[in-house]
Amino acid sequence: MTVSLDDLPLRDDLRGLRPYGAPQAPLPVALNVNENTHPVPEKVASDILDDIAVALRDVNRYPDREFTELREAFAGYLGHDLVAANIWAGNGSNEVLQHILQAFAGPGRTVFGFAPTYSMYPLLAQGTGATWVAGVRHPDYELTVDEAVAQVLEHDPDVILLCAPNNPTGTPLPLDVIEAVYEAARGIVIVDEAYQEFAPKDSPTALTLLEGRPRLAVSRTMSKAFAFAGARVGYLAADPAFIDALRLVRLPYHLSALTQAAAIAALRNAPIMLAMVDEIVAQRDRISATLEALGYEPHPSWSNFVLFGGVSDPAATWRALYDRGVLIRDVGIPHHLRVTAGTEAETTAFLDALASIGSAS
């Protein structure tokens, strides 16, 4: 007898939900999940490996539960007078976000974000038993202070997730919107800056707003700019009291000694790791310019991907690219597709494949 999910005594609020499901197909050009497609530079890889080898000698013992050295390294990387007490980390920023929702969302509470936004937010909210509430954006995906505040006041959520720049649209979020949302909100405000390093140099970060705002948290990840997606390291900055709340829900020793060693070594090499960012930004801008020339409608992006409209049949275009060895993402927005900026060669492969399919409708 084959057992299906429906046969199991699953929580009622999880029935009918679908898991996160970006396809993982072994295609030569994979530009579908906003990874950094550049490998970690050889020199840094061997430095990281040395530190992992040292950590391995003590792997019979549990790791530092407070990952103090790693938190100090993140504080140093972020600047803005942050110290280790302001920092938290997890196995990817997804886990960091999950910790926040475990502490501040849960049954009977609501989690709010402006759709379309990162597809994991509803799943993370529902996973804690909370209700996801989707707000709306302008057709160009931007948000004004007045509209954002009006929606926050209307829904009065317990937790607000602001994705800046926003995935899957690439749209930046001005600091005055974040400030106004915080003032209007009663609950927690999370600014997810997963793609911040790809924004124009010296563009504003919500880290500058942390002082005096204990309900605010700014999350980041090493998965994108640091080319560390497979290592699973995300982090956040917030008031030390906020960090104390996360200690209540994390599993003891949740960051392995090997993860901690790898992340500390990678942060020590931050300038070399981040040297790839400029190249990725150049490819992103090349994608936007070429898409426009091909008759598509790319949305302005401050991230490492481009969402483009003007696609008459996204499923057909996605499939035609797939058949040409190029994997991109159909994020479910009508007449749109999203592509990650790859290396120069991968980007060329995508643009050539798209051009070979025929022009936009």
Stretch that binds ligand PMP, among 76-84, 90-98, 103-111, 177-185 (CB under 6 A): 90-98
* Footprint (CB under 6 A) of ligand PMP, residues 174-233: 192, 194, 221, 223, 229
d(CA 204, CA 300): 17
Contact with ligand PMP (CB under 6 A) among 32, 36, 37, 93 = 93
Please provide the distance, in angstroms rounded to a whole number, between the alpha carbons at the two ends of the chain: 49
Stretch that binds ligand PMP, among 92-100, 132-140, 294-302, 309-317 (CB under 6 A): 92-100
Contact with ligand PMP (CB under 6 A) among 92, 116, 122, 170 = 92
Q: Determine, following the binding rule CB under 6 A, whether residue 34 of this chain makes contact with ligand PMP.
A: yes
Measured from the CB atom, the residue of 221 and 290 that comes closer to ligand PMP is 221
d(CA 165, CA 143): 12
Contact with ligand PMP (CB under 6 A) among 113, 157, 234, 314 = 234
In DSSP terms, which residues pair with 173 in a beta bridge? none
Q: Which helix (H) or strand (E) holds 163?
A: strand 159-163
The number of residues that bind ligand PMP (CB under 6 A) is 13
Q: How far is CA 264 from CA 44, 79, 225, in A?
A: 12, 16, 15
Residue nearest to ligand PMP (CB): 92
d(CA 332, CA 119): 10
d(CA 268, CA 334): 43
Contacts of 334 (CB under 8 A, 6+ apart): 314
Mask for 115-154, x = binds ligand PMP (CB under 6 A): ---x------------------------------------
Stretch that binds ligand PMP, among 86-94, 250-258, 280-288, 326-334 (CB under 6 A): 86-94
d(CA 258, CA 188): 32
Which tokens hold the place of 124? Answer: 């993370």
Mask for 260-279, x = binds ligand PMP (CB under 6 A): --------------------
DSSP state of 354: H
Question: Where does this chain bind ligand PMP (CB under 6 A)?
Answer: 34, 92-94, 118, 163, 167, 192, 194, 221, 223, 229, 234
